[in-house]
Amino acid sequence: MKYNKIYLFGGPGFGKTTIAEKLSADLGYKLISLDEIMFENGHKMEEKTMIRKLKRAIRNESVWLVEGGCLGWSDFLFKEADLVIMLKVSPITALFRILKRYLHNKKFGFRSTLKLCFKTLPAYFDKKVAEYPYKARAKKVIET
The rounded distance, in Å, linking the Cα atoms of 54 and 77 is: 9
- Residue 22 located in a structural domain: yes
pTM: 0.90
pLDDT tens profile 15-65:
999 999 999 999 999 999 999 999 888 788 999 999 999 999 999 899 999
- Residue 103 located in a structural domain: no
- Residue 113 located in a structural domain: no
- Count structural domains, the chain: 1
Q: What is the pLDDT of residue 91?
A: 94
| Mean pLDDT, residues 94-119 taken together | 85
Burial tier of 26 (Cβ tally within 10 Å: 0-12, 13-18, 19+) = exposed
Q: Of the given ranges (83-87, 103-107, 121-125), which has the lowest mean pLDDT?
A: 103-107
- Residue 104 located in a structural domain: no
Instruction: Please give the distance of CA 117 from its chain centroid, rounded to a whole number.
Output: 16
What is the domain extent for residue 35? Answer: 5-88+127-143
Handedness of CA 29, 21, 38, 11 (dihedral sign): positive
- Residue 52 located in a structural domain: yes
- Residue 117 located in a structural domain: no
- Residue 96 located in a structural domain: no
Query: Which CATH number fits the domain that encloses residue 55?
Result: 3.40.50.300
pLDDT higher than 80, residue 107: no
- Residue 110 located in a structural domain: no
pLDDT bracket for residue 142 (50, 70, 90): very high
